[in-house]
Structure 1
Amino acid sequence: MLKYWADLDIKDLRAWNHCAPRDTIRQAREVANVSRLEDPKTTFHQYMDGIIPSTLVTDEWREMFLETVESVCNEAAEQDEDDEDFHIPRCDELGHFIKYANGVIDPDFRHLGICPFDPVPFGFGIRDFAFPDHPSVQAIPPPDIAKSREELRDYLQDNILDEAFIYGTVDNDLEVKVGFKTGLGGRREHDEWYSAYIYCRICEDDSDPEHEDWAWRVVIMHACGGNPTELYGRKPRFDSIPEFLDWYSSWLDHYDIEEDRKQVKLMYDSDEEWY
């Protein structure tokens, strides 16, 4: 419980500034009213439904995001001198996703260190304030889309998969043209799982000819390498975002309570090795 409700003993909300996000304030208010052990079962948590709300709430912002992703990815792909004419296509499916959510985040009740899929950087876009009518919020100028474009370029360039990451972490049966990190999950202060959005093709013998095609794919990778590593009964790479979302929400089908107890013991009261 402590992992998800770290502020149960905080009752004084006067310290919140007026520019705080709406869901953050709602959670703080409900947590402040908790008085019984069973109360958290019905207490709002901003990420308990797994959805990071969209901040790209207009067509203009989503178009800017997709154009910038396409531009940065093609600039990175052009560094490959053996295939200078290869064009990375626009990731339109990602555009449909960011209309409804910036990302998804697993509450990770299994203590596996599972990563989010969060392609939109934190604080990017049009913010949702808890106190929109307060003078201090009214005084905040609207976000500058041109400035935000440059900030997004810098963010993507920092998160483009470099050769060391591709050869050391990405699945060894994927041929990668370009990709960028979209999430990192940790466990006991160690990196555990990465997510990435990758333009790639699968280099293996199977019955699905579509795997031979270049496509944007969501890929989940173990931070220690040796990928592909099976998770929830399959290799966690996905030909579409809907396929990924179906899998991402299936954790309860694979829940092992004994493994969960083991992880809790390792986390809170054991000197055993973390791995």
Structure 2
Amino acid sequence: MSDPPASATTRLNKRLAELGLCSRREADEWIARGWVRVDGQVAAMGLQVAPGARIEVDPRARGQQEQRVTILLHKPVGYVSGQAEDGYQPAAALVQARTHWRGDASRQRFSPGQLRGLAPAGRLDIDSTGLLVLTQDGRVARQLIAEDSGVEKEYLVRVSYALPQGELTADVQRAFPREQLQRLRHGLSLDGQPLKPARVDWQNPEQLRFVLTEGKKRQIRRMCELVGLKVVGLKRVRIGRVVLGQLPVGQWRYLGGNEAF
């Protein structure tokens, strides 16, 4: 029996990620530790695997994953989601023992080791506030930020409207054309690509509620600009089934064992 053509094989770290077992980075770590076997043999780094290959993962890898934490932070304005830039601090700098929310029902205790490899799963720009997920778990990261992710993100967006006579900041809903609201829901493009359909409705006369399943850079602000709206304030209140709730600004809690996105 001949070997499958190279085009039919997939790099092992990618296959493990596609199976939802881990992120590619975690997969490389597992392979380096000898925790992954393919067709009964310990896998080498960079191995290409055929579609029908039997992949086994050592229980030690699962145990390591179970110890990894996912943190929900109420990011304030003025912090960047990822690496420090232009003198601004990363949101992860707020994850400290003293900022751990007292209302956290998880009963987990903070330790400095939980900061190792902690990375944002998605972005929330410097001028925005609300729910930001930071995780050590590659499965969570992939679920939220992979290209094929369909996890909903919900935002409350305070807006003003540009009129010939000036900027309207009160009762924007009355002046804003319904056909433009429909364009926000479906019909806009960014970076030369049409956006996926979104749910957009008025929460009150000055505030819109957006529900998106994608996350292009500064997407909501750019969408609003295309229809003459200016974002005055933006707050993310939900990711999937996890809500911001009563979590205070600048504080954080653990994702509970009974919670999932």
Alignment TM-score, normalising by the size of structure 1: 0.20
Q: Give the strand-richer structure, 1 or 2.
A: 2
Q: Give the helix-richer structure, 1 or 2.
A: 1
Alignment TM-score, normalising by the size of structure 2: 0.21
